[in-house]
Structures are given as C-alpha cells and as structure tokens.
Structure 1
Amino acid sequence: MRTPLKAAAAVAASALALTTLTACGGDSASGSGGGKVKIMVGGLDKVIYLPAMLTERLGYFKAEGLDVELLTEPAGVQAETALVSGDVQGTVGFYDHTLDLQVKGKQVESVVQFSQAPGEVEIVSNEAAGDLTSAKDFKGRKLGVTGIGSSTDFLTKYLAVSSGVKTSEFTPVAVGAGQTFISAMEQGSIQGGMTTDPTVATILDKGLGKVLIDMRTPEGSQQALGGLYPSSSLYMQTEWVNGHKETVQKLANAFVKTLRWMSTHSAAEIAAKMPSDYAQGGGQELYVKAIESTLPMFTKDGVMPEDGPETVERVLKAFNPNLQNAEVDLAKTYTTEFVKSAG
C-alpha cells in the first residue's frame, strides 16, 4: 500500500506531467530528424508498456541523438486522445486503436510492435470466484476496465460476446490500474476485471482474487482470442511519420535495441533497470515475478506478427458497431519499414 506521502507525490507528479503536456502541446520534432519528441504512454509503470521506460533507462534514446519526453496516462484511450489532438507525437498503447481510429477518419499506424499477445488478465475477486468461472458468467456483473473505450474494454466485450453475453448485459467500470483497480475489487465495486502486471501479481500475492483468463502469452492469446493479438506498440499519426522519417527511424532503432536486450536478459536484470517505485509497493521480488509472467508477450524485433492484424480486426468487429460494417485497410494501420531497417 502507498503511504499518504507517496500518494500525494504521485498525484503531484501526474499533475505536473499534464501541466507540462498542456503548456508544450504545440511543440514537435523539427525537420526530419531532430527536436523533442513527446510520447504518451497508457501507464508507464505497466509491464506491458515496459519497453518505453526501459529504452530511456538503457540510454538508447540519447544514443540515437533523440530528446524524448515520456508522459503517462492511466488508460490507453486517454493516451490515444493526446496523440489525435496533436499534444504528443507518439503513443505507446494498443495497436487496436489504429483500426478504431481509421474508421473514424484518422490515419494512425504502429511503427514498432512491442508485443504479440495482449498481456492482459481477467481476474475475479474471491467473493465472486464461485459463480464467475468463465466469460459466460459476465452477465449481470460489474467488471473493471482501465477506461471506457480502452483496449481492456474492447477485450472484455469480445470475451463476453464470444461467450454468448451481450455487451448490454454487463457493466464495464472504469477503475484504472494499480491501486485504484485493487481498491475497487476490495470494496466490491467490481466483481472482476481486466488488468496487467504488476497489478495482477499484487492481487494474487495479497490473496484478493484469482486468474480467470490469462492472455500474457502467445498461447493464452490463441486460446482466448483465436490467434496472436498484437497489442502494445508505438503508434503515430501517419502524416507525422511521413514528414519525420529520420526521427521515426531513430525511435525504431532505440526500441528494437531494447526488445533485443530484453530477449537476452532475465526478468531480474530487467527489473533492476526500472524505477524502484514501479513495483507498486509489492517489493522487488514480486515485481520480478510480474515481469517474468509477462515477458512471453514481447516480440524480439518489433515486427508485426503475421496474421496479427486480422485477429485484431475480427475481435473488434465482433462487438464494435463502428467497425462491423466498415472496410478497414489493415495495410495502413502498421508499417514494418522502420523496424526492418533498424540497426
């Protein structure tokens, strides 16, 4: 549990980040290869987005001559909004937002694909575990998601619909991640929900809940979603990418170096590079365990997994009325141009 002092510090830091974002929203990388790049992350301390901070901690941004500022929002949908509004040049969030935005008239593409599985876990409280044994039991439940319109919201709806439960038959509740998610479960505001490590590891360690559906591995993604599900990525507005190719290539170089580094180092070695407060009060040993559980989701080269975009399209079209009757040009939702040229 965070102390009041730590909680106050976290709030202050968040407010400062947002103030900085608002004040500097008009800035962007100048020319094709330099300037400051602001990247909004849908939760910097989430293990699924670990490559963002790890790249900074390893010094790879600076090695590429980049001035990168990492900002954070608790949910991917808020990070998406910051990108579309032009407040940041890039977002580290789920690839599925690129499809959702395309049918809304926004051209956004994944330029580095961090993962091949969602890294998400549907977890249920101990009190509800007896009756909530599969997605078929979502009916009538209040289920936590990071935010309405977030990827956790998307995936929860798919799991429900694919199990015969209508999206109108359960209630998604925006509870964020970390301590806010844990508190909602402890207070009974939600009976279950979708979240990531280190929140999952903390809940299990405290004996507050049980894993219902585990999508932290390619095998788990295959079982729950019928295929690999590319999720965490660096995505950017296509127009900005085309106008700043040298900068984007440097970003790809830095992130691909990080993914390669992760593939040859242990969870303990990775954890040792991260800020100490990312353990969310669970201690270093629990944080290492959280990283170890999630590591299988990451790619080693930043390349979009084969057939991954088709899986994402199928999942979204199962419940999203905006996509059900829309034609999605998947080729425009990602590019491998930069990762395949990464040194």
Structure 2
Amino acid sequence: MTSSRPSQQAPAVTAGWTRRRVLSVAGGTAAALALAACGAPSSAPPGQNAPSGASGAAGGGSGSKVVIGVGGQTLLTYMAATLAEQLGYYKEEGVDVELQDLQGGSKALTAMLGGSTQVTCGYYEHTIQMQAKNQSIKAFVDMGLSSGLALIVAPKNEGSIKSIGDLKGKNVGVTAPGSSTDMFVKYLLSKNGFQPTDAAVSAIGAGSSAVAAVQNNQVDAAVMLEPDISVLAKQLGKQPVILEDVRSVEGLKEVFGTDSWPSACLYAKTDWLQQNEDTGKKLARAIKRTLDYISQHSGQEIADKMPEKFSGGDKAQYAKVIDDLKKTLSKDGKFTQDGTEAVLKTQRVANPEVGNKDIDLSKTYTNDYVSA
C-alpha cells in the first residue's frame, strides 16, 4: 500500500473488551501500531542503478554505506529504524546508514529487489511471499510482535454488522487488494466458515483517504491501522466499533492462537546478507539496542528524540501513542517459531500465491545476527 503521514492524533479513549469490541483507540491496549503492509510484487523488477556509495547494491560485496528503504518512515511500527539513527546507534556500530522513506511496503520491497536499496524495513510476511515466487529474502531482526490491524464497522452499519458473518455481501475497505489488510479480511472469513470471496474489497489506502471512506460510509467496514483509527475516532466524536483486533496479545491469541505475529523487521536478499554478514550483524545490534532503549524510556523521552515533524504537531499525544506501541514491540529482536508459523498460516488461507506451496520457514528468517 502507499502509506500517508498522519495529519493529527486523537485523544485517548478507553472501553471494555467484549466480543463486539469497542476498544481503546489510543490507550489501554496496543493501539499504536501502524502498518505499511502491501502485496508483494510478482517478480523482481529489472536491475536499477544503486545509489552512489551503496554497499553491495546489485549482488553483494562490501562498501561504506547501506541504504535502507522504509515502508513509510513516519509510521510508528517502523519507529525503531528511525530512532536508531536519531540515537546514533548505526554510527556507533560502525555502519553508515541512509534511510529512504519509500511511503509503502511494496515500494520498499521493489526497490530492494531492483537494487536501489540493500535492506528493507518492512513486514516479515514478504519473505514468505517471495519464497513462494522462488526469490530468497531473509529477515534478520524483528521489531514488532503484532501487525496492528483492526476491523472497523462503518457508522451506518453499527447496528447491522455484529459478526464476521454479517460481512457476507458487504464491501470492506482495505489499503489495497492483495495487501495484508485484504488478507486479514479473507483469513477472518475463512476462519469463521465462509468463503474468502464472500465479501468484496475496495482500496481505500491509508491516512486521510481511509478515514474519509469510513467516516462517509463509502464502505460497509474497513481494516484500519493507527494512527488512522485515532483520527477516525476524533472525527466521529466517539469510539469506532471494532469486530476484530490484533493490536493486543489478547487479540492475537483469539485470532491467530499465538502471542506474537512478526511484523516490522529488517530483511534483505539472502545472498546480500550472506556476503555482508558483518554489516548485517551491526544493523541487527543497532536495532536491538534501540528496542532496549524503547523499553527503558517513556513515550515522552522517545518522542523528544524523534524528528519533530513525525509528531504531527501534537507531541504530547504522540508520546502517549508511543507508550501504547511499546507493549507490542519485540524486546529482544528475535523471531519465534510460533509467530512465523502464525504468519504462514495467514498466508496459506488468504494468499493463493502461497496456498499449499512448500515453504521452508527456516529460510525466511534468522536470529543469528541479532544474537551475535
């Protein structure tokens, strides 16, 4: 998808946890995750010229700079990549990093496949999608334990859509067809005994376009992300009705049967990673140190370290959202087998390009770099 930057943050809203959840929008649960989750390109694009000074741009090797493409740099799910730079951890580890904000996960992945970047700060599921297309990429440090998705009912349907089954024949907004938001809808339908195609999906993007689509009842329901949920709540003047939510451990266990679902991470072409092992370890250590910093500091302290423009003009609210985000960040940068299996399970149900293909998860991630 193409991610857009938040224009504002909504005040904290709290509510109880029920089957038909009207959840906390900015507090009480991990309501701060944002996602640049996009469908993977069908194949690697033709090679492109790498930026000057880039390390191993087209086929490995070593150099002085690593260009990391970020799937939406202002999105809080990718906060650790920017914070590591702000704290000077990349330089302290001895690696020269350039972050490129590519405004969407698929764009970041495509740039790496084409050679314009060497590493992607994106979602783990792309490694599975690419293996299904016979292209080998590997994640080497995990940042998030949740995808941060929530299925929200449009205001006009709050009295009629009360369960997943009620989505049959309805129009559900997603960031883009084939994206993780689309796959979430298909997975929920299948999990509840319906066909993945029983609900139609429409692309509503993210940011202001997604908020407007739900607020103006252009769709019957939508899979949304933070900070869009907070903005929607502020526009509506009330809490949105949420049918399913995987922004919390409770939600993850209910939907996926696991307490982790690896999301934001650093990944690279497997051959590049093998040829730049030392660089990969330095990057992993920098992110691990950043995760440690996040766990030991308040949202306000972290917000003060982030670029001023990322707060959307409301640093106090930005700090509150960061405090919620911390609950669903990895503490050690390591992937878990249960978590990666949960992601694969989602892909098998919702992504026909993965389906029942033989997927070797051990080739999609490694903990060796973050453990070094």
TM-score by length of 1: 0.86
Q: Residue 110 of structure 1 contacts residue 333 of structure 1 at CA under 8 Å; is this kept in 2?
A: yes
Give distance in 2, aligned partners of 1:77 and 1:131: 35
Displacement of 1:215: 1.3
Structure 1 residue 323 corresponds to structure 2 residue 354: yes
The equivalent of 2:159 in structure 1 is 130
The equivalent of 1:151 in structure 2 is 180
Stretch moving more, 305-314 or 250-259: 305-314
Q: For residue 230 of structure 1, what is the amino acid of its counterpart?
A: P
Q: Residue 75 of structure 1 contacts residue 146 of structure 1 at CA under 8 Å; is this kept in 2?
A: no
Q: For residue 240 of structure 1, what is the amino acid of its counterpart?
A: W
The equivalent of 2:301 in structure 1 is 269
Distance verdict in 2 for CA 1:240–1:154, change over 3 Å: same
Structure 1 residue 29 corresponds to structure 2 residue 61: no
Displacement of 1:274: 1.9
Structure 1 residue 230 corresponds to structure 2 residue 262: yes
Give distance in 2, aligned partners of 1:220 and 1:214: 5
Displacement of 1:27: 6.0
The equivalent of 2:209 in structure 1 is 180
Stretch moving more, 247-256 or 164-173: 164-173
Q: Residue 42 of structure 1 contacts residue 76 of structure 1 at CA under 8 Å; is this kept in 2?
A: yes
Structure 2 residue aligned with 1:248, among 272, 280, 283? 280
Give distance in 2, aligned partners of 1:253 and 1:314: 29
Displacement of 1:59: 1.4
Give the % identical residues: 34
TM-score by length of 2: 0.79
The equivalent of 1:91 in structure 2 is 120
Q: Residue 47 of structure 1 contacts residue 196 of structure 1 at CA under 8 Å; is this kept in 2?
A: no
Displacement of 1:173: 2.5
Give distance in 1, aligned partners of 2:125 and 2:87: 28
Q: Residue 204 of structure 1 contacts residue 210 of structure 1 at CA under 8 Å; is this kept in 2?
A: no
Displacement of 1:24: 4.5
Q: For residue 329 of structure 1, what is the amino acid of its counterpart?
A: D
Q: Residue 33 of structure 1 contacts residue 244 of structure 1 at CA under 8 Å; is this kept in 2?
A: yes
Q: Which has the higher helix share?
A: 1
The equivalent of 2:27 in structure 1 is none
Q: Residue 75 of structure 1 contacts residue 176 of structure 1 at CA under 8 Å; is this kept in 2?
A: no
The equivalent of 1:259 in structure 2 is 291
Displacement of 1:184: 2.2
Q: Residue 50 of structure 2 contacts residue 115 of structure 2 at CA under 8 Å; is this kept in 1?
A: no
Q: Residue 50 of structure 2 contacts residue 117 of structure 2 at CA under 8 Å; is this kept in 1?
A: no
Q: For residue 55 of structure 2, what is the amino acid of its counterpart?
A: A
Distance verdict in 2 for CA 1:300–1:130, change over 3 Å: same
Give distance in 2, aligned partners of 1:134 and 1:273: 42
Q: For residue 191 of structure 1, what is the amino acid of its counterpart?
A: D
Partner secondary structure for residue 70 of structure 1: strand
Q: For residue 271 of structure 1, what is the amino acid of its counterpart?
A: A
Structure 1 residue 203 corresponds to structure 2 residue 225: no
What are the residue-to-residue correspondences of 1:102-121 with 2, within 5 Å? 102-121=131-150
Q: Residue 108 of structure 1 contacts residue 235 of structure 1 at CA under 8 Å; is this kept in 2?
A: yes
Stretch moving more, 164-173 or 28-37: 28-37
Partner secondary structure for residue 354 of structure 2: helix
Displacement of 1:253: 1.1
Partner secondary structure for residue 256 of structure 1: helix
Structure 1 residue aligned with 2:320, among 284, 289, 292? 289
Distance verdict in 2 for CA 1:238–1:143, change over 3 Å: same
Distance verdict in 2 for CA 1:176–1:43, change over 3 Å: farther
Partner secondary structure for residue 92 of structure 1: strand
The equivalent of 1:171 in structure 2 is 200
Q: Residue 317 of structure 1 contacts residue 323 of structure 1 at CA under 8 Å; is this kept in 2?
A: yes
Give distance in 1, aligned partners of 2:71 and 2:115: 16
Structure 2 residue aligned with 1:279, among 311, 318, 341? 311
The equivalent of 2:24 in structure 1 is none
Stretch moving more, 119-128 or 82-91: 119-128
Give distance in 2, aligned partners of 1:103 and 1:178: 30
Q: For residue 160 of structure 2, what is the amino acid of its counterpart?
A: D
Displacement of 1:303: 0.4
Q: Residue 54 of structure 2 contacts residue 63 of structure 2 at CA under 8 Å; is this kept in 1?
A: no
Partner secondary structure for residue 127 of structure 1: helix
Distance verdict in 2 for CA 1:132–1:267, change over 3 Å: farther
Unmatched tracts of structure 2, length 5 or more: 1-5, 9-47
